[in-house]
Structure 1
Amino acid sequence: MAWSSARFDGWDVLGKSTCAVLLCAAAALAGCSKSDNSSTSSSSTGSASEAASAPASAPVANAAGGKTKIGFSVSTLNNAFFVGLKAGVEKGAKEQGFDLVQTNANGDAQQQVNDAINLLSQGVTALVLNPIDSKAIIPAVEKANAMNIPVFTLDRGSDGGKVTSFVASDNVALGQTAAKWIADQLTKRYGSAKGNVVDLIGLVGTTAATDREKGFSDEIAKYPDIKVVARQEGAFDQEKSLNAMTNILQKYPQIDAVFGANDDNTVGAEKAIDNAGRYKPLDDKQHILVIGADGTAQALSAIRAGKQDATISQNPIQMAAKSLQFVADYTAKKDVPANYAWPTLLIDKSNIDSDATKKYGLWSEEVKQ
């Protein structure tokens, strides 16, 4: 299932309008990888099927006649966002009355394939994957397909095999939002959209990084006087982003803004700016504007402290729980959407403590890493 932003063109569960309202409101208000045998159970919430975009084929019955066993493979738990995904999967499994078997691939793509195949051998009736690499995960997806076990991908997709449902934010739109925000801020500073920008790319090989980069690059190109002076992989990693930004700062004496593909990228960039003695307060014209994504606790703290200007938050807990609802719907022979976009929210100092932001959910305050 190759990823394309066009896949979100018809989503209507939380929908484009809801996402737009959230973004506009924000603008206006400004592990070893062995199995983690985590078995959870409770009575089902009986969630209704949402608007369907793809008919479900016949679900696999639970041969044991007991609770439905779900396998879940997370890419890593070294990042708070994925800790949030894990919490959301556990929450959803409890709500739906599933038995849950989990593995943590610890950032190793081949280990994740091995883990997924091991989960399949344990008699799971559905497989939920948060892939490290969209190409490397294909053998696991194809193995599940051959066994007639439905695959659900979460936050990151697969470039091959049949995936029943993919739940994620619209990452192309996320990148576009970041580029528009930078252009707006530079227009306020200089009277027109101009300046030098750094683009710290996410982890190459993931659909999230690819789509955010596409959205950002395509949108920023609409402003001919904004020059992307450096475009380098931060890999969704603070240390790599710190090193990358340190080198960039040494090369370029004038930098106006930084887009970090996630908040680990931005926190790394902020540390580099501090270390170079180039931090200036938000209201200073020499302040380097920084915008990231995900809404991590470190990013929220940095926004409150004036070190980071904004983040485009997701909600991995709710996103993951929604994926488990779709597993339940599919098992109940209901239709599920092939692609489902969870809305994002732009958070800055003006709205970080607002009712709208609280309603959306500061997920990182619920997660203990």
Structure 2
Amino acid sequence: MAWNSERFDRWSKVGASTGALVFCAAAALNGCSKSETSTTASTDAGASAAASAAPAAAADAGGGKVKVGFSVSTLNNAFFVGLKSGVEKGAKAQGFELVQTNANGDAQQQVNDAINLLSQGVTALVLNPIDSKAIIPAVEKANAMGIPVFTLDRGSDGGKVTSFVASDNVALGATGAKWIADQLTKRYGSAKGNVVDLIGLVGTTAATDREKGFSDEIAKYPDIKVVARQEGAFDQEKSLNAMTNILQKYPQIDAVFGANDDNTVGAEKAIDNAGRYKPLGDKDHIMIIGADGTAQALSAIRAGKQDATISQNPIEMSAKALSFIADYSAKKPVPANYAWPTLLVDKSNIDSDETRKYGLWSEQVSQ
């Protein structure tokens, strides 16, 4: 299967070859909300071509070394551990000083952390927002101080953001809906059946965009009925509870779209608990597709509990964002929006050369 190439005009196109995608093991991580400071230099022989071209100690426009502040939403999810790993990789490749905070899922704490980073003299601020509205005061504070803001994976609904790097989440949601329609057509001869939509964390741009993409695409198939839409909140426990209730109400369910792989893992546990698991190929098998490409999802695909995931690559995506900070510091143009490509992974291609080249990022990180 090819990389998802659907992109809206607002996204810059991705032109890097798969051969330029390289990976590093994650450093030991902790989940505290206190700042962590590290100074790094671009001596990593495995850095990407763009990163390796950067000077050993990148300078800001005023001639001093670039000091980047990074606020991650949480480290209780492997995807965000991957983002952290990629930011560290990018900072090392670019020769940046890096100061990090972990908001532990608390939107107000994240605003406080971001403002604290600004007070430490950072020359660029990277945010992975918990809530796209709640983060606005931090973005506006940076704007008032003349400090560029770069958002990663999730955006901000206000203030000026210099560059937003993420997957095209609208296209991702549409890919999930189209996959379900195709599988139902194979099962029934036409696109029909009952589908469950487990929405992501309300208030995040990723959840909003994935839901838009999924809903708009699935609406093209009038005989597919979305019998339930509930928030799974990118959380396994909440998704398990939501899916448990849905299974009790609906005796016939053909497919589940999970806005991320934590949603799908929760749904899989609920299906198992209800005694409704049937193996792939069985006429009563509940088809499940998620997003992100987490280690649990890959294991579930190999075990036949999950059909597919639309994988991202948070390590390379966030390293790319750090390269844009280097460009900005060198007074080079940077894209306002940049989409990293996704890859639909199922049992047929999970161990393929294509998938290995794209990168099973979850094998590169540890929590």
Give 1:33 shift.
1.6
Q: Which amino acid aligns with 1:277?
A: G
Q: Which amino acid aligns with 1:349?
A: K
Moved over 4 A (4+): 43-49
SS of the equivalent of 2:36 reads coil
SS of the equivalent of 2:280 reads coil
Give 1:43 shift.
5.1
| Count of equivalent residues | 341
Give 1:42 shift.
3.0
Match of 1:14 in 2: 14
SS of the equivalent of 1:193 reads coil
Distance 1:208 1:96 in 2: 27
Distance 1:112 1:315 in 2: 24
Q: Which amino acid aligns with 1:366?
A: Q
Rate the CA distance shift 1:101–1:149 in 2: closer, same or farther, 3 A.
same
Distance 1:147 1:312 in 2: 38
Give 1:353 shift.
0.3
Match of 1:34 in 2: 34
Give 1:133 shift.
0.3
Cα contact 2:198–2:256 (8 A) shared by 1? yes
Residue deviations 1:89-113 (CA, integer Å, cap 9, x gap): 0000000000000000000000000
Cα contact 2:91–2:322 (8 A) shared by 1? yes
2:195 to 191, 194, 197: 197
SS of the equivalent of 1:236 reads coil
2:163 to 165, 168, 171: 165
Give 1:308 shift.
0.1
Q: Which amino acid aligns with 1:338?
A: A
1:152 is the counterpart of 2:150: yes
SS of the equivalent of 2:289 reads strand
TM-score, scaled to structure 2:
0.89
1:359 is the counterpart of 2:357: yes
SS of the equivalent of 1:38 reads strand
Matched ranges for 1:153-302 at <5 A: 153-302=151-300
Distance 1:9 1:291 in 2: 26
1:341 is the counterpart of 2:330: no
Distance 1:46 1:338 in 2: 21
Give 1:142 shift.
0.2
Match of 2:75 in 1: 77
Cα contact 1:48–1:329 (8 A) shared by 2? no
Q: Which consecutive unaligned segments of at least 5 residues does structure 1 have? A: 1-5, 20-30, 50-58
Give 1:61 shift.
3.7
Distance 1:122 1:8 in 2: 37
Q: Which amino acid aligns with 1:80?
A: A
Distance 1:112 1:12 in 2: 28
Residue deviations 1:111-151 (CA, integer Å, cap 9, x gap): 00000000000000000000000000000000000000000
Cα contact 2:12–2:337 (8 A) shared by 1? no
1:129 is the counterpart of 2:122: no
Give 1:34 shift.
1.5
Give 1:317 shift.
0.1
Q: Which amino acid aligns with 1:38?
A: S
Cα contact 1:260–1:290 (8 A) shared by 2? yes
Q: Which consecutive unaligned segments of at least 5 residues does structure 2 have? A: 1-5, 19-30, 52-58
What is the RMSD computed on CA atoms of the aligned residues? Answer: 2.0
Cα contact 2:14–2:339 (8 A) shared by 1? yes
Cα contact 1:73–1:105 (8 A) shared by 2? yes
Distance 1:192 1:150 in 2: 50
Cα contact 2:7–2:168 (8 A) shared by 1? no
1:103 is the counterpart of 2:71: no
Rate the CA distance shift 1:184–1:76 in 2: closer, same or farther, 3 A.
same
Matched residues, percent identical? Answer: 87
